[in-house]
Amino acid sequence: MTNTPFKDDRKLAYLNTEGAEKPLKSPVSPATLATARAYRLGRFRAEMARRDVGALLLYDPINIRYAFDSSNMQVWTAHNPMRYALILADGPAVMFEFKGCEHLNEGLPGIDEIRTAQGWMFMSHGDKAPAQVGDWADEIADLMRQHVPGNMRLAADKLDSPGVQALSDRQITTLEGTEITEVARSIKSPEELDLMRWTIRVCEAGMARIYEHSVPGVTERELWAHLHFENARSGGDWLETKLLTCGPNTNPWYKECSDRECELGEMISFDTDMIGPYGYCADISRSWTCGYVPMNPVQKRMYATALEQINHNLDLLKPGMDYAEFNEKSWRIPAGHVDYRYSLALHGVGMADEWPVVPLHVDWSDRAASGRFEPGMVLCVESLMAEAGSESIKLETQVLITETGTERLDTFPWETP
């Protein structure tokens, strides 16, 4: 076997053709974006009606973006509850924005009213937080009594216990709202798919940059930065993880990228977990050798096994199939790889990783989610292959459930083991 480096032009074709100094230009039209926005808010409202709730309170920044396309300090507000939204059944949708940022929501068609948010966490109000949470709850209660006086059932996606108690004191019943948001988000419209396809295009341009720089001496962090760069300059948001490693750092999986330098012939494995343009997620995994040299026999065997799992499980997927049936027919991981396995076979994806999650057959139990695959769902089919003393091969593809079967949304080439 020759060890002569050979760059794969199929991968380099995904590089940003606008040139190194310019971002990719989105082909998404204003009409497509407007239709996607209306569809998403409609999905939330339909699930609210199905579960007979008077209002839906959103703190998760991803749910706020899904509902209104309102984006402001999303990572910061994911752990600091300082902005929120209230959707009233058959009533207005109100955005409570961080003070001084109200103008960021102007022109968003799903928002009927913009108000200044009332924060009540300890960081912002200390010992005065109990009084502040009372004012917050009064405002929520007043809106519900005005617009849904006969239904004081409020579903919330994320709400700390002082808020739950304050609402209860005002005769509002607080319900878990995550089922509403997850089920609503699980079925994508054609316009949403256009937005997701663009995120994937940007992600694959970033992956091509990683490939272009996969040479001996580069650090894991330097490679990971290329995906950040392409995402940020194309209007994307953030990367959920830091999963790019090489050589011995790939096994066990889930080590974050470091300043370790990659060596010739080592496997470089990564999982993008990229929240890109328009807020959609590109969750794609690939593995290849550093320095463009052919895989050694162990790498080749591992890669072929991982690709076999991906292809087998892809071929199974179809609309109407029950999750349990998929599990029964799914690819069986060989015994030597079980201890190094990934914990799931597939999961939903939209603006982030989503419901459903279908465990790998080894981890299936009576606690696995019930349900069936429906047209409009987008799923990530996963494989992680390793054994004692080997590197890890990580592969993942993003696939749409159609009316008749499936359609892969990513096209970045696999290796030829």
Pairing of strands 153-156, 113-116: unpaired
For position 2, what pLDDT does the model report? 53
H or E element at residue 323? helix 323-329
Nearest Cα to Cα of residue 141 among 114, 113, 110, 166: 166
Contacts of 42 (CB under 8 A, 6+ apart): none
With contact defined as beta carbons under 8 Å apart, do 269 and 245 qualify? yes
Domain boundaries, the chain: 9-26+187-408, 51-185
For position 1, what pLDDT does the model report? 43
Same fold, 9-26+187-408 and 51-185: no
> For 361, what's the count of Cα atoms within 13 Å in the CB-facing half-sphere?
14
Query: Strands, E, within 26-148: which ranges?
Result: 55-58, 84-88, 93-97, 113-116
3-state helix, strand and coil shares in percent for the chain, rounded to the nearest 5: 40, 20, 40
Which CATH number applies to 51-185: 3.40.1440.10, 3.40.350.10, 3.30.950.10, 3.40.50.1820?
3.40.350.10
Nearest Cα to Cα of residue 345 among 374, 368, 376, 371: 368
Distance CA 307, CA 414 (A): 8
For position 18, what pLDDT does the model report? 66
Distance CA 113, CA 97 (A): 11
Eight-state DSSP code of residue 23? P
Pairing of strands 113-116, 93-97: parallel
Q: Is 287 left (phi over 0), alpha (psi -120 to 50) or beta?
A: beta
pLDDT in tens, the chain (417 residues): 457 788 999 999 999 876 566 788 899 999 999 999 999 999 999 999 999 999 999 999 999 999 999 999 999 999 999 999 999 999 999 999 999 999 999 999 999 999 999 999 888 888 888 889 999 999 999 999 999 999 999 999 999 999 999 999 999 999 999 999 999 999 999 999 999 999 999 999 999 999 999 999 999 999 999 999 999 999 999 999 999 999 999 999 999 999 999 999 999 999 999 999 999 999 999 999 999 999 999 999 999 999 999 999 999 999 999 999 999 999 999 999 999 999 999 999 999 999 999 999 999 999 999 999 999 999 999 999 999 999 999 999 999 999 999 999 999 999 987
CATH code linked to domain 9-26+187-408? 3.90.230.10
With contact defined as beta carbons under 8 Å apart, do 94 and 112 qualify? yes
For position 24, what pLDDT does the model report? 86
Which pTM does this prediction carry?
A: 0.94
